């Protein structure tokens, strides 16, 4: 067993530190360790990981928005034991630079190009690059049914078919919609260009990010929205996958173990944590359908129509010390009471504080917690200027008033995001504060 040094422990309490398996981060409910995987694992392995989460932590397991498993409630004594026990499971753990690919890469008959060779070449080439920002990430997106368009990335390669050829568009910073276009490359050139940019960023120091090299570059255009993962997807060779999500990205180890045991019983033999807090289970179509039915009955998200899948919420109280309230309670009530607002056109952001961990990008409507209550923000981030503030007790009633206003004012086939934008901060503020839409 290795001892977790106090210096590393203290260092990793910094905001923005990456809570990797070997460098857990302090949160409100103890240390949090991230378990980043590069490939699918078996349901047996996931169940074993859950047993370890129960033995060494508080039994709560997160699936992050980027598709990382996280074990919560560890102590300084139990975190290194968890690390050793997880390493003994022989999981495909990611070491080094985060080079992310869509979860169906290489199995998706609709993808434009298989991103795995490029991702592997970048991982390999980046091994000797020292001094990158701890959260530096590269996305290699070959297209297909599940894309990584909405994830922030320092460097992003996006496949495009052009005149019978495959080209890779290289973007710097932001999401696919907000990134800046650095250039257009063939496969080998794309790897070299990415490694060259990573070396430039390393030379600028550990605070340098992709956006720092993006000045004066043009904005990307022509973006397709990412599909949600909560449904069945056909893959190559009669294989299917189904996306299942714990509500708000968090489940008890017992519930996940039950899901894994059912997967094993049905002959579903692999599972991959994926984007939007999902777990993708792979198997025959009938087995995937049966597993989705079991999961839905158990309270998991199994459909993009589930309002909970349209709310981005951070861990809140008690898991985060910066939160002054239980974010999941507010989000659960909002999902139940304001279902008509969630038509898939935007994601409601419920944030425990202005940092906005759960949704770093702007969205049509955000709630941000402060000492005395909640701030409401239109078309912005959790830390942006609010259009109204309410007490904690009035928060869900205020949300209901906004949902009622949107229902009453929606024009034609206008979606919720467009309606919120058209109404603007003044109308929304009047609805929140007066209670009369």
Contact indicator for 341, 321 with CB cutoff of 8 Å: no
Nearer to ligand SF4, 282 or 374 (CB): 374
CB of 18 to ligand SF4, least distance (A): 14
Scanning residues 177 to 236, which ones bind ligand SF4 (CB under 6 A)? none
For residue 43, the cross-strand partners are none
Nearer to ligand SF4, 243 or 352 (CB): 352
Is 320 a binding residue for ligand SF4 by CB under 6 A? The answer is yes
CB of 220 to ligand SF4, least distance (A): 27
Nearer to ligand SF4, 136 or 323 (CB): 323
Across the beta sheet with 270-274, the strand order is: 232-234, 240-244, 278-283, 270-274
CB of 280 to ligand SF4, least distance (A): 25
- Tell me how far apart the alpha carbons of residues 414 and 345 are, in angstroms, rounded to a whole number: 10
Burial of 326 (0-12, 13-18, 19+ CB in 10 A): middle
Scanning residues 323 to 342, which ones bind ligand SF4 (CB under 6 A)? 323
Contact indicator for 417, 347 with CB cutoff of 8 Å: no
Is 377 a binding residue for ligand SF4 by CB under 6 A? The answer is no
Contact indicator for 191, 170 with CB cutoff of 8 Å: no
Is 249 a binding residue for ligand SF4 by CB under 6 A? The answer is no
Nearer to ligand SF4, 351 or 363 (CB): 351
Token look-up 């999941």 returns 328
Scanning residues 81 to 140, which ones bind ligand SF4 (CB under 6 A)? none
Number of residues engaging ligand SF4 in binding (CB under 6 A): 12
Give the number of other Cβ atoms within 10 Å of residue 407's Cβ: 14
CB of 52 to ligand SF4, least distance (A): 23
Considering only 64, 78, 226, 315, the residue that binds ligand SF4 (CB under 6 A) is: 315
CB of 330 to ligand SF4, least distance (A): 12
CB of 33 to ligand SF4, least distance (A): 16
Q: Between vectors from CA 375 to CA 372 and to CA 378, what angle results, nearest 5°?
A: 180
Is 26 a binding residue for ligand SF4 by CB under 6 A? The answer is no
CB of 327 to ligand SF4, least distance (A): 7
Peptide bond preceding 164 in cis form (omega within 30 of 0) = no
- Tell me how far apart the alpha carbons of residues 230 and 239 are, in angstroms, rounded to a whole number: 17
Nearer to ligand SF4, 125 or 316 (CB): 316
Nearer to ligand SF4, 147 or 277 (CB): 277
Q: Residue 385 gets which letter from DSSP?
A: P
Contact indicator for 28, 324 with CB cutoff of 8 Å: no
Q: Which stretch binds ligand SF4 (CB under 6 A): 66-74, 140-148, 289-297, 317-325?
A: 317-325
What is the three-class DSSP state of 363?
A: strand
The torsion defined by the Cα of 44, 48, 53 and 59, in degrees rounded to 10, comes to 60
Is 35 a binding residue for ligand SF4 by CB under 6 A? The answer is no
Give the number of other Cβ atoms within 10 Å of residue 66's Cβ: 20
Scanning residues 343 to 362, which ones bind ligand SF4 (CB under 6 A)? 351-353, 355-357
Nearer to ligand SF4, 208 or 314 (CB): 314
Scanning residues 38 to 67, which ones bind ligand SF4 (CB under 6 A)? none
The crossing angle, in degrees rounded to 10, of helices 187-204 and 116-125 is 40
With CB atoms as reference, the residue minimizing the distance to ligand SF4 is 352
- Tell me how far apart the alpha carbons of residues 228 and 321 are, in angstroms, rounded to a whole number: 30
Binding site for ligand SF4 (CB under 6 A): 314-316, 320, 322-323, 351-353, 355-357
């Amino acid at each position: 067993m290795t001892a977790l040094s106090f210096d590393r422990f203290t260092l990793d309490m910094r905001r923005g530190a990456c809570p990797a398996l070997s460098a857990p981060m302090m949160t409100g409910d103890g240390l949090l360790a991230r378990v980043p995987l590069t490939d699918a694992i078996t349901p047996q392995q996931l169940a074993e990981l859950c047993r370890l989460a129960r033995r060494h932590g508080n039994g709560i397991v997160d699936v992050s928005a980027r598709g990382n498993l996280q074990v919560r409630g560890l102590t300084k004594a139990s975190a290194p034991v968890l690390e050793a026990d997880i390493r003994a499971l022989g999981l495909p753990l990611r070491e080094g630079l985060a080079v992310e690919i869509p979860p169906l890469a290489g199995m998706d008959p609709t993808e434009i190009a298989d991103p795995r060779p490029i991702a592997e070449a970048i991982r390999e080439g980046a091994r000797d690059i020292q001094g990158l920002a701890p959260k530096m990430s590269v996305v290699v997106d070959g297209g297909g049914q599940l894309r990584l368009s909405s994830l922030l990335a320092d460097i992003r390669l996006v496949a495009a078919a052009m005149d019978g050829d495959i080209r890779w568009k290289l973007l710097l910073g932001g999401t696919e919609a907000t990134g800046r276009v650095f250039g257009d490359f063939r496969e080998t050139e794309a790897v070299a260009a990415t490694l060259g940019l990573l070396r430039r960023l390393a030379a600028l120091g550990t605070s340098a990010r992709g956006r720092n090299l993006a000045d004066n570059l043009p904005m990307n255009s022509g973006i397709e929205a990412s599909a949600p993962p909560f449904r069945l997807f056909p893959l190559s060779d009669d294989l299917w996958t189904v996306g299942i999500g714990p509500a708000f990205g968090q489940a008890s180890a017992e519930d996940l173990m039950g899901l894994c045991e059912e997967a094993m019983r049905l002959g579903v033999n692999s599972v991959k944590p994926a984007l939007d807090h999902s777990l993708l289970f792979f198997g025959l179509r009938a087995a995937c359908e049966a597993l989705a039915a079991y999961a839905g009955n158990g309270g998991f998200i199994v459909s993009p129509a589930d309002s909970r899948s349209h709310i981005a919420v951070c861990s809140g109280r008690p898991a985060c010390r910066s939160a002054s309230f239980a974010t999941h309670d507010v989000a659960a009530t909002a999902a139940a009471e304001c279902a008509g607002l969630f038509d898939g056109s935007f994601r409601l952001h419920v944030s425990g504080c202005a940092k906005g961990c759960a949704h770093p990008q702007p969205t049509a409507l955000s709630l941000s917690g402060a000492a005395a209550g909640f701030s409401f923000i239109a078309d912005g981030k959790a830390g942006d200027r609010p259009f109204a503030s309410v007490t904690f007790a009035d928060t869900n009633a205020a949300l209901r008033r906004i949902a009622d206003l949107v229902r009453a004012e929606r024009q034609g086939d206008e979606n919720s995001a467009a309606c919120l934008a058209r109404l603007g901060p003044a109308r929304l503020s009047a609805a929140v504060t007066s209670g009369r839409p």
